[in-house]
Structure 1
Amino acid sequence: MNAYLHRSEDRGHVKMAWLDTKHSFSFGSWHNPKYMGVSALRVINDDKIDAHKGFGTHPHDNMEILTCVLDGTISHKDSMGNAGGISAGEWQLMSAGTGVQHSEVNDGDTPVHLLQIWIHPDIRNAEPTYQQIKLDPKDQPNQWHLIAGPNDNAPMHIRQQAEVKTAVLEQGLSLDIKATQVLNYIHVIRGEILIGEHVVKAGDALLFSEDAKIVANEESQFIWFDLPKQ
């Protein structure tokens, strides 16, 4: 199997007074020309945000911004008029389009753990939109759950010919990967999986371009980015 393993320890690690974050790809103060994204996938930030802290109001444009909350609740407010919490097991997709301002703050008394994912759109300067769903793969393990995609069957619509799927897989069980696009990027949130001869652990990711099978060496949670070649 021809594949590239992106190890967790190769991610950028930035620790601030209230934020402990790991960057799969170059972001902010951490830059590595080897890690500038894969196809349309530009950012995977693994953020831990202290209680009563967060990101103040700031702008985005022409980016599909997907947030996956793993622990706690993050409070969101934006210039489109959306305001509320995104809790563990929920997903938010903000299509920034021509431009939007938003804030993300942990109003709770315990840390929030989330993934923030940025995907380049294939349509620029569209009207900004906001979508949010509850879909916790732990509730229905051992199967793929489509989170976002370009077609009407997706729970959230993304402006890119890409699909984002997630799963929790119990130890010893397997899932097939049958791509609809060209590139597969599997990011492991927790646990350890086997794809071909590659052992992929928490924080690792594997990039490959063929159908494959995932076997769980232990109970694991992961995200599959089904990406176009660019």
Structure 2
Amino acid sequence: MLNVRPSEARGHANHGWLDSHHTFSFAGYFDPQFMGFRTLRVINEDRVTSGEGFDTHPHRDMEIITYPLSGAIAHRDSTGGQGLLRAGEVQRMTAGTGVMHSEMNGSDEDVHFLQIWILPNQKGLKPSYEQKHFTEQERQGHWRVVVSPDARDNSLTVHQDVVLSSTLLSKGEKAEYALAPSRHAWVQIARGAGTLNGVALKAGDGVAVSDESRLELVATEPLEALLFDLA
């Protein structure tokens, strides 16, 4: 069963320096029917103007994944983690017992990225941070694991039974995924357009997947997509 969450149905907030779309309830946007999916709590698509960003602020007991699409994000946190995050790189921060961090636009153009929150498998984890680069070649034409609970295939480590994969598809190209029994998936189209098991999708659309064993994503125009494999 595929349940599409259309891009235009998402929550939206425009603060001038920040233009944000919320797949699930977040901040001033609340919809009791969209509080998350399984342990996936937040997918925000953010655009931040040059010279602006999120000043130092706190988080706790959350796994936070940042996935840039264009531009650069300057990250700094109270664990000592810091770096410039660009398209092709993925960052995971465990907020755990509490962390302070900032995310600023580190480029001279708008930065466009997805910020993802996943509920951890336990509270009170030690805060930590990691960042890795995944080449276009690694992701072109198939699903490449970028985040997992066991760091498989040199991916980032998340403290939850979630496997996050990324793909890049040229027009007409396809990527297949086998979903194990009793597993669920969320597919998020970051850019471009295509079909998932024959269902048409565009940038910003998300799809909740249950009771499916095989997923076939076909690009009708060049696309970038994320797939969350969830318990």
TM-score (norm 1): 0.94
| 1:89 aligned partner | 88
More moved, 37-46 vs 199-208? 199-208
Which residue pairs with 1:158 in the alignment?
158
| Aligned twin of 1:125 | 124
Does residue 41 in structure 1 map to residue 40 in structure 2?
A: yes
List alignment gaps of at least 5 residues for structure 2: none
Equivalent positions of 1:132-211 (< 5 A) are 132-137=131-136, 140-154=139-153, 155-180=155-180, 182-209=183-210, 210=212, 211=214
2:108 maps to a residue whose letter is D
Give the SS at the match of 2:67. strand
Q: Distance in 1 between matches of 2:8 and 2:152?
A: 36
Amino acid at match of 1:115: L
* In 2: Cα distance, 1:149 partner to 1:104 partner: 23
Partner of 1:98: 97
Q: What's the CA shift for 1:140?
A: 4.4
Which residue of 221, 226, 230 maps to 1:223? Answer: 226
* 1:177 alignment partner AA: Y
Fraction of identical pairs, as percent? 37
| 1:167-193 Cα distance to aligned partner (Å, 9 max, x none) | 011221221121246111110011112
Partners of 2:96 and 2:130 in 1: CA distance: 14
Shift of 1:124: 1.4
Q: Do the aligned partners of residues 189 and 138 (structure 1) sit closer, same or farther apart at CA in structure 2, a change above 3 Å counting? A: farther
Matched to 1:157, the amino acid is T
Q: Which amino acid aligns with 1:134?
A: H
CA contact (8 A) 1:137 1:145 kept: no
Query: Any idea what SS the aligned residue of 1:164 has?
Result: strand
The gaps in structure 1 that reach 5 residues or longer are: none
Q: How many residues align?
A: 227
The answer to whether the Cα contact below 8 Å between 1:191 and 1:202 also exists between their aligned partners in 2 is yes
Counterpart of 2:216 in structure 1 is 213
Kindly state the Cα deviation for residue 139 of structure 1 after the two structures are TM-superposed: 6.1
Please identify runs of 4+ aligned residues in structure 1 that moved more than 6 A: none
Q: Once superposed, what is the RMSD of the aligned Cα atoms?
A: 1.4
Aligned partners of 1:137 and 1:166 also within 8 Å: no
Amino acid at match of 1:65: I
Q: How far apart, in 2, do the equivalents of 1:10 and 1:156 lie?
A: 31
Letter in 1 for 2:200: V
